[in-house]
A and B are shown apart, each in its own frame.
Chain A
């Protein structure tokens, strides 16, 4: 090796060594969140504020002072304190929060959503709507109007009159689509109605839907659920949990599945498993119960009906 190369190599080696020991405290202190004030020869513990907004490109005000950076932004060199942070963008409502910056820590506000200032609300349809229902696949709106039942796209376009029926109750407690999407129910305190949506092939009297008042009950209806088969409705009236079979004409096939000790609370129907969860008291203690309507539901139903008929027959 030439002597000059050796000298350059030694210079490079010691330069690299010096560079390492000069850069190391700088890189480490930066990484750990320390700020060196070279004017006053002081070291501060700092914190970082990370802001991300949707939409991005919003201006940031900290304690009322506008920062130059736009979101998403990482604001460093903030001394530990509580800051009033405001994120603004024209045409959107501002976001404002008091954020505490802790030493050597990162304060993140990375899920900021700026909501647009509404200029005009979108009107869906020109009907005098009493109530409405959204199909489970979120493709259609069903408008219950004074001039009949209409169906439109989600933005109100392509309206279609399905039925002339307009006798909607004033107060509707709930509306639910059946799993097959071919019907929906609605109910108030004493009545359950089912709306059958008719396929184009089986149109009767030119109507694409017809409404049936399924049940009229003296008690107070607490909730109504579709059985997954879309042909039965589970309903809870006062203390009774019952099921009714859909079907035109004649007496409705109703079975009371359970009589609660007190009024059933916290009703939840799991459509996937056809199970009804509810609270009831037993021996003075509140318990969570489940009625399983899955397997052999219809067999059970029929056995029960048959048993009742047998009892009546024996009595005779």
Chain B
């Protein structure tokens, strides 16, 4: 094995090793040294409660920003800017790329309709559907129908088929998106459009951008002096099928939205996630998305970060894009679907070895920056994998295995009541989540009964149970697979909208 490969394996092992060492170590110490574990649990619980409080404050700030900026007429602001350097509102093109696998026309139609409903000039919007060839001919035929239907409305409507089994590629969304971006490059070359004047938005097939999205994006792009050294991240909300999704799926996905809102306030740790936008010039410079990694949405950020020697950031945009909730008709399939989706997200831990290897090769990034970013990345995945396990499963272990002496001690006596008292504080967070989730709800469809609004409120009572059950396990699963070298394959989440199913 070459040195690089050995090092990569080492970095692949590190997250899972830390996670399992923590879980096994704390479990073993619960028997041998229950007092130590109890002290650790009190420290961790307090840390977690304060962290939740801190995040709740950030969520409130982010929500306030979202509420304020939602009222802004971004397109007008953009037009009011006039000409800033080379740019004005009329010479910025939006390329919207939809990598498609098996998503049906009912999913894509609403996404394309959202583009039509946006207030940006349609003659400056290039829509591209990049179809996976292995998805079947039906998907290609559907794409052709959509092209015919919508071509007249946009600057152009491209469709392309990504061949299967290209050398060096894995079966990932990134490979498909890269193929589409290369086709777009040829198109732009043929039209002699400067790459710097094109902002590419790589959207999941179910992404419905809000009306102001492209105006807001153009405004930020024009006013950002480091426009090509930034990605532009909207807030993903899972609203497309929220009224018809199962409660457990809603709570989990809304939690993801809230986490993304919180991340917009933590710029130094902010990384692209799901549907996002960037300069096409940057994308070409960094040689597109990685074609052999699953977490293409975050890896593209790290790729740019390494390419620009650490001088690359993500600019939050307080506009929303709406996506589908991974749900099903029954509870168990919904849980399985959610679990697989979260595991795929947790597979973002593959960014750690990628980043570490990149750091080793890049001598221009300051060491402190390398340590800080590397630590943040590792810490976020480590915490994801252990927090629910510690809080739910390890916390009672000292009392179970600690023996009579420990149970007779003050710590043994106080541990449950102190932990319960600390977590009672987090009820405030739950209440805030309830309120914000209600404010983010789209209008109720006519076929949904009014009392369902009450369920949208009470569903949050499931949050503690869901946190305990699926809070950490997908992350442990992903890290263990990476640690053992059993690499994951890209699994497309099946989209279900009110009885219509498609992959």
Give residues in A with beta carbon < 8 Å to B.
Answer: 1-2, 5-6, 8-9, 12-13, 16, 19-20, 23-24, 27-28, 30-33, 46-48, 50, 104-106, 108
A106–B412 CA distance with the chains assembled, in angstroms? 9
- Residues on the A chain within 8 Å of B453, using CB: none
A1→B50 contact, CB < 8 A: no
B61 within 8 A of A: yes
A104→B316 contact, CB < 8 A: no
Which of A13, A30, A31, A105 is within 8 Å of B54, CB to CB? A13
- Residues on the B chain within 8 Å of A104, using CB: 409-411
Give residues in B with beta carbon < 8 Å to A.
Answer: 38-39, 42-43, 46-47, 50-51, 53-54, 57-58, 61, 65, 264-267, 316, 408-415, 418, 422
- Residues on the A chain within 8 Å of B411, using CB: 31-33, 104
A105→B51 contact, CB < 8 A: no
- Residues on the B chain within 8 Å of A16, using CB: 50-51, 53-54
B265→A23 contact, CB < 8 A: no
A31→B61 contact, CB < 8 A: no
Which of B43, B53, B65, B410 is within 8 Å of A105, CB to CB? B410
A104–B406 CA distance with the chains assembled, in angstroms? 10
A30→B57 contact, CB < 8 A: no
Please name 20 further chain A to chain B contacts, defined as beta carbons within 8 Å, in addition to the given A28-B39, A31-B415, sorted by A numbering: A1-B264, A1-B265, A5-B61, A6-B267, A9-B58, A9-B265, A16-B50, A16-B51, A20-B47, A27-B42, A27-B418, A30-B418, A32-B410, A32-B414, A33-B414, A48-B413, A105-B408, A105-B409, A105-B410, A106-B410
- Residues on the A chain within 8 Å of B412, using CB: 106
Q: Which chain B residue lies CB-closest to A2?
A: B65
Q: DSSP majority for the B interface?
A: helix
A5-B65, A105-B408 are known contacts. Are A31 and B418 too (CB-CB below 8 A)?
yes
- Residues on the A chain within 8 Å of B54, using CB: 12-13, 16
9 A-B contacts (beta carbon < 8 Å) = A6-B267, A9-B61, A16-B51, A20-B47, A30-B414, A31-B39, A31-B42, A32-B414, A47-B410
- Residues on the B chain within 8 Å of A31, using CB: 38-39, 42, 410-411, 414-415, 418
Q: DSSP majority for the A interface?
A: helix
Residue among B38, B265, B266, B414 with the most chain A CB within 10 A? B414
Residue among B43, B54, B415, B418 with the most chain A CB within 10 A? B54
A48–B38 CA distance with the chains assembled, in angstroms? 18
A5-B61, A5-B265 are known contacts. Are A23 and B46 too (CB-CB below 8 A)?
yes
Q: Which chain A residue lies CB-closest to B54?
A: A16
CB distance from A136 to the nearest CB of B (A): 38
A12→B57 contact, CB < 8 A: yes
B410→A19 contact, CB < 8 A: no
CB distance from A179 to the nearest CB of B (A): 41
- Residues on the B chain within 8 Å of A23, using CB: 46, 50
Which of A8, A33, A108 is within 8 Å of B61, CB to CB? A8
- Residues on the A chain within 8 Å of B46, using CB: 20, 23-24, 27
A31–B51 CA distance with the chains assembled, in angstroms? 21
Which 6 pairs of residues, A with B, have the shortest CB-CB distance?
Answer: A33-B410, A16-B54, A106-B413, A31-B414, A104-B410, A20-B50
Q: Which chain B residue lies CB-closest to A106?
A: B413
Q: Which chain B residue lies CB-closest to A5?
A: B61
B264→A48 contact, CB < 8 A: no
A8–B267 CA distance with the chains assembled, in angstroms? 13
CB distance from A247 to the nearest CB of B (A): 57
Q: Which chain A residue lies CB-closest to B64?
A: A5
A5–B53 CA distance with the chains assembled, in angstroms? 17
A108–B57 CA distance with the chains assembled, in angstroms? 42
- Residues on the A chain within 8 Å of B265, using CB: 1, 5, 9
Residue among A9, A30, A108 with the most chain B CB within 10 A? A9
